[in-house]
Amino acid sequence: MHLRTPVLLASVLISGVATATVIDAPVEARSTTLLDIDYDPLGTVGSLGLEYNADGLDPYGGYGEMVRWDASGNWLTFDHELGSATFGHPTANISDIRVPTEATYLRLESYSSTAVDCAGDSALDDCYWEGYDIWNPRHGSFHLQLERDAGQPWPTIGTVVPPTPGDRYGGFVSRGRVIASDAITEGRLHIDAFQIDCSIYETCDPPPITSAGIPYGAFASGASKGDLWTMGVTWPGHYTVFIEDRDTGVKVQGVVTITAGPLPVIDLDAPCFGLLTCVTVPDSATVDPPAAEFHPVDPVRILDTRKERGLTGGMVRPGDGRLDTTNAELRAAEVANHELTVTGVAGIPSAGVSAVLLNVTAVDPTGEGYVTVGPRPAGTGDVFDDQNSFGDWPDASNINIRAGVDTPNMVLVRVGAGGRIRFHVFGAETHLLADVAGWYSSIDSASDVTLTGFTPVNPARLLDTRGEPSEPLSGGTTTELRVTSKAGVPGDAEAVVLNVTAVSPSGSGFVTVYPSGGSVPDVSNLNLSAGVTRPNLVVVSVGDNGSIAIRPELAATHVLVDVFGYFAPESGGATTTATPFRVADSRNGIGTSTRPWSTQETRRIRIVGVGDVPAEATAVIANITVVGPTGEGFLTAWPSGLDAPNVSNLNFTSGEIIPNMAIIGLGDSGAIDVRVDLPWDPTGTAHVLVDVLGWVS
């Protein structure tokens, strides 16, 4: 069905009272055809707009022609002149409507109001002709479309009724919430909604059918009230909606399935306002990521492709979810293999979520490659094209994969359209796991809600089991580690940011880090391979006695724990997520010298002022990658201007490519210092990349 954005007007004719005749001629004599439509007004009054592919007769309303009906079903012309004392008053009864001969397309759009709201019942009373109101709780409006071949009569329409609460089509008064990080002004949103039919691959409530077998649908056009939006009195079904945020200039078209009950929440800070099937219109502004506060959660697994949890289709295939085929079922299956819904699961709210913090693990890859995690973007172009949200791949990676090697990394990812994130896989198939560490909510600048913000500390080592006595943690045993009231972490910290490193494991297995005092969750933070030293960033809620629990499974391992900061109420800064961008690459001289780091070399990487990072930023969230080291070693990053701490961010072996996420305080001049150590190779070198994922300010 071809749909157009409405211009405020209506479509109607009347059952048992009047049958309109469409005359295909101007005022002078022309050939005529009958538009046979019976419309039962159900006590309403309103306007009928006719839009067609020919010159119009009405210069005022934006349609080709516009007429009115009264509560008795009489059709009338009316005074169109704005500002006059008789604007909107009826001028004459009519029995036909004139449509140019050349018109072959006709669209009717109705705007109903309720006559009983008027104290009087005279058609001359001003209140009788008060304008259409989308918030009218008694009756809704409809739209209908006709086409004909040139010279042929219009098809018989039959009986049409407006949406009414409790009618045989399931009519109901629709209401939904609007949320935003800034003030929601009165009438901030303008909404146009058109009921349409489902495609052959979808299931939904079908639109009504006239007595002559012609489909029509509910229609609404109007503004929000406070923090609520509406589609008026409407019917359950499939809709295309046009939504404009008149404060920001963001405009989207979406397709949603509506059921009797609350409408979907419109999140003005989310891509496409949170709608899944959507596009931004060509002249739309963009939605900027809002500042956000962190909500730690006890770790929960929301994705495990080995068990068809979260994604379907087994291993995640190379690609990003698009598929070059005309088979819609195969395209849908490919999307389901790459897109994960992260809102409304594992304690994460269904709306108001700006980003999620996940530990993502690639398991049993079939070859070499990498995985990039990003938001499902808003689409462009045709909203009915299921490939409209695919574009260029992001120039960054979160996990580098090798055949048979299980590799984790912490990932901060903005939530995309429909509450989804997308996995871009290059080079090889791989199973994927994802465990939630927390989520970020947009900060309401108009509220007094206490911020839970991030505060960096001077990096410090909290645990090293290689000390005296040197005792690795045994597989299947739990060790508690106090993390508050030390190393700058206060007693009221709700969560801590740690780098946890497994050193020389005795075999294969994994390590789980979780709040002390709780049960062992079905998640992992580190994967173990015999003799291989591996780190990972861990953000974990503080448990009993200000402690966390560390538990290796299946193998013993030495463990290092380094603290980089904490989240606490009424302190710290808000987090802003970003589309990943590179601030340093020693291979090509971005942000640093065009040569690899030498062993024990420290370089300063400027963060503030690069990209959109503001001057008030206090910490950076980054993915740091070592590429092509000539030997075994480790990398350390810390706030610039401080002495190098006795901590590490990632460990590497000769020739590999390995990333690790880091949350690091910013020091002198808004920068971090990065040092590479290859203790057993005094002439060793390694390239380093730094990609910014977000910042704290």
Mean pLDDT of 257-279: 94
Look-up: residue for tokens 């574009």? 391
pLDDT by residue (tens digit) across 438-453? 999 976 544 445 578 9
Look at 56-70, 199-213, 669-683 and tell me which has the smallest mean pLDDT.
56-70
CATH class for the domain made up of 452-569: mainly beta
pLDDT at 124: 59
CB contact burial 91-128 (16+ within 10 A = b; e otherwise): eeebeebbbbbebbebbbbbbbbbbeebeeeebeeeeb
Q: What percent of the chain has pLDDT over 70?
A: 90
Cα–Cα distance measured from residue 647 to residue 477, given in angstroms and rounded to the nearest whole number: 25
pLDDT of 7 > 60? The answer is no
Res 22 pLDDT > 50: no
Cβ contact 443:574 at 8 Å: yes
pLDDT of residue 118: 60
Average of per-residue pLDDT across 486-498: 96
Please report which confidence band the pLDDT of residue 253 belongs to, taking 50, 70 and 90 as the band edges: very high
Least-confidence region, from 48-52, 405-409, 425-429: 48-52
- Measured in residues, the chain has a length of 697
Kindly report the number of other CB atoms within 10 A of residue 488's CB atom.
15
* CA nearest to 177, candidates 269, 276, 266, 268: 266
Q: What per-residue confidence (pLDDT) applies to 629?
A: 97
Per the prediction, the chain carries an average pLDDT of 88
Burial class (CB in 10 A: 0-12, 13-18, 19+), 309: middle
Spell out the domain ranges in the chain: 21-268, 292-382+391-442, 452-569, 575-696
Q: Do domains 452-569 and 575-696 have the same CATH topology?
A: yes
Beta bridge partners of 112: 46
For residue 420, the cross-strand partners are: 341
pLDDT > 60? residue 3: no
> What average pLDDT score do residues 87-94 get?
78
Residue 615 CB contacts under 8 Å (≥ 6 apart), including other chains? 608, 609, 670
What average pLDDT does range 69-76 have in this prediction?
78
* 292-382+391-442 under CATH 2.60.120, yes or no: yes
551-584: per-residue pLDDT in tens?
999 999 999 999 999 999 988 999 999 888 999 9
Output the pLDDT for position 387.
Answer: 93
For the domain covering 575-696, report its CATH number.
2.60.120.260
Q: Please state which of the ranges 18-32, 310-324, 655-669 shows the lowest mean pLDDT.
A: 18-32
Q: Is the pLDDT of residue 20 over 50?
A: no
Rounded to an integer, the average pLDDT of 540-549 is 96
189-218 average pLDDT score: 89
Beta strands across the sheet bearing 534-541: 452-464, 558-569, 495-503, 534-541
> Do residues 291 and 398 make contact, with C-beta atoms less than 8 angstroms apart?
no
Helix (H) or strand (E) holding 674: strand 671-677
Across the range 481-492, mean pLDDT stands at 96
Cα dist. 550→300, 303, 559, 650 in Å? Answer: 16, 22, 9, 19
Mean pLDDT of 406-413: 96
Beta-carbon count within 10 A of 638 CB = 24
**Cα–Cα distance for residue pair 420/156, rounded to 1 Å:** 45
pLDDT band of 59, cuts 50, 70, 90: low
Buried b (16+ CB within 10 A) or exposed e, 609-629: ebeebeeebbbbbbbbbbbeb
Residue type, 444: D
Of 445, 434, 494, 183, nearest in space to 292 by CA:
445
Helix H or strand E segment including 335:
helix 328-336
- Residue 468 CA to residue 463 CA, distance in Å, equals 12
pLDDT tens, residue by residue, 321-349: 999 999 989 999 999 999 999 999 999 99
pLDDT tens, 95-124? 766 677 788 888 999 988 876 656 555 555
Q: 291: phi > 0 → left, psi -120 to 50 → alpha, else beta; which?
A: beta
Tell which residue, 546, 554, 499, has the closest CA to residue 525. 499
Which pLDDT does position 189 carry in this prediction?
A: 97
> Left, alpha or beta for 517 (phi > 0: left; psi -120 to 50: alpha)?
left
Work out the average pLDDT over 220-227: 96
The per-residue pLDDT for range 630-683, each reduced to its tens digit, is: 999 999 999 999 999 999 999 999 999 999 999 999 998 899 999 999 999 999
